[in-house]
């Protein structure tokens, strides 16, 4: 028996699974996708609450809920959109360089 790895177990030097930068970038991409989805969900919730308040009458509770949902959505969306574009640009730059 040989101690050399078989073809299926051998990894190339450019393997994305071994590159710590690409691993970290993949984690950031996963979290930004989740933050995007949750952020847009809160914006949709704020819109729905606003229209409910418009139809049934504005109260201080409804106004507070609309504002809180909108602020949470914006706080989640602002950095996640920026980081999402940064991850996509870094991936595109790697592909253009052949890495």
Separation CA 45–CA 40 (nearest Å): 8
pLDDT tens digit sequence for 57-76:
889 999 999 999 999 999 99
In the chain, where the domains are located:
20-94
pLDDT tens digit sequence for 14-67:
666 677 888 898 899 999 999 999 999 999 999 999 999 999 988 999 999 999
pLDDT of residue 1 exceeding 80, the answer is no
Q: Model-level pTM?
A: 0.72
Separation CA 29–CA 2 (nearest Å): 40
């Amino acid at each position: 028996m040989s101690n050399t790895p078989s073809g299926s177990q051998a990894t190339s030097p450019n393997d994305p699974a071994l590159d710590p930068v690409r691993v970290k970038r993949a984690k950031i991409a996963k979290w930004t996708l989740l933050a995007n989805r949750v952020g847009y969900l809160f914006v949709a919730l704020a819109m729905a609450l606003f229209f409910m308040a418009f139809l049934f009458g504005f109260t201080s509770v409804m106004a507070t809920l609309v504002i809180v949902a909108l602020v949470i959505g914006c706080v989640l969306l602002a950095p996640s959109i920026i980081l999402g574009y940064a991850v996509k640009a870094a991936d595109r730059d790697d592909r253009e360089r052949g890495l």
